[in-house]
Structure 1
Amino acid sequence: MGCFMNFLWLIFGGILTAIEYLVASLLMMITIIGIPFGMQTLKLATLALWPFGKTVRSGERSGGCLYVLMNVLWIFLGGIWICLSHLVFGVILCITIIGIPFGLQHFKLAALALTPFGKDIVAD
């Protein structure tokens, strides 16, 4: 069932979202300072490509001072807007019964988009 849902996700916008994250990641990696942020955007791209059957968990080092600092920078430099866009799409999709599974995936992406540093994507 997860493979079918991932296929539907790709058809109805998942591929475009993943490409947008990939392009943003490549643009961020042009500078040395942007490489850590580009790596986190790549993490978002992989989750946006195949969200069903994956879970976002805190890593073993997620409470470190550097992760907290980078997450704060991420939030102020655009993470809040990415999170809000996924929340809006999630609410819109959850209005219908058919869209609820896709809305829940947008909520998963929103949680990762708010604080990506120190998070790991694992298979269920």
Structure 2
Amino acid sequence: MKTLLNIIWVVLSGFWLFLGYMFAALIMFVLIVTIPWGIAAARIGLYSLWPFGRDVVERPTSGLGATLGNIVWVVLAGWWLAIEHIVSGLALCVTIIGIPFGIANFKMVPVALLPLGKRIVDKP
């Protein structure tokens, strides 16, 4: 079931979200100083490409560094990636079949805004 949901997800919105994250990662890698944010963008981009069967959990050891890094992330790329999720979620919620995928998009908004201090794990 997860595979079927992921295939539908990729077709409806996952590919475009993936491209947005990879573009953000590319910008972060080019700026060199922001490479840690580029790694986070690539990690979340792969998650946004194939999200069902995985979950985002908080890292208990993240602290002030993650908080300061998230502030920089919001300014550089987080706000427009979050808007991308919101717009995609609203568009998907127009149809009955798209509502679960729209809700999945809305669940990704906090990760798009504040990715540092979180990790992506497989669901059991």
| Pairwise TM-score range, normalised by the shorter structure | 0.7 to 0.9
CA 85–18 in structure 1, closer or farther in 2 if over 3 Å, else same: closer
Please say which of residues 100-109 and 21-30 is displaced more in the overlay.
Answer: 21-30
- TM-score norm. by structure 2 comes to 0.87
- Superposed CA deviations along residues 13-72 of structure 1, whole A, max 9, x for unmatched, are 32232133223312311233110110111122111110111111111223x111111111
Q: Show structure 1 runs of 4+ deviating over 3 A.
A: none
Q: Per the alignment, in what secondary structure is the counterpart of residue 115 of structure 2?
A: coil
Q: Give the Cα separation in 2 of the matches to 1:74 and 1:98.
A: 33
Q: Give the Cα separation in 2 of the matches to 1:115 and 1:85.
A: 15
Q: Give the Cα separation in 2 of the matches to 1:92 and 1:22.
A: 22
For structure 2, the residue ranges without an aligned partner over 5 or more in a row are none
Shift of 1:7: 0.7
Give the CA RMSD over aligned residues. 1.6
Q: Per the alignment, in what secondary structure is the counterpart of residue 4 of structure 1?
A: helix
Equivalent residue number for residue 112 of structure 1? 111
Q: Give the Cα separation in 2 of the matches to 1:20 and 1:87.
A: 13
Q: Give the Cα separation in 1 of the matches to 2:106 and 2:54.
A: 13
Q: Give the Cα separation in 1 of the matches to 2:93 and 2:57.
A: 23
Equivalent residue number for residue 45 of structure 2? 45
- TM-score norm. by structure 1 comes to 0.87
How many residues of Structure 1 are paired with residues of Structure 2 in the alignment? 123
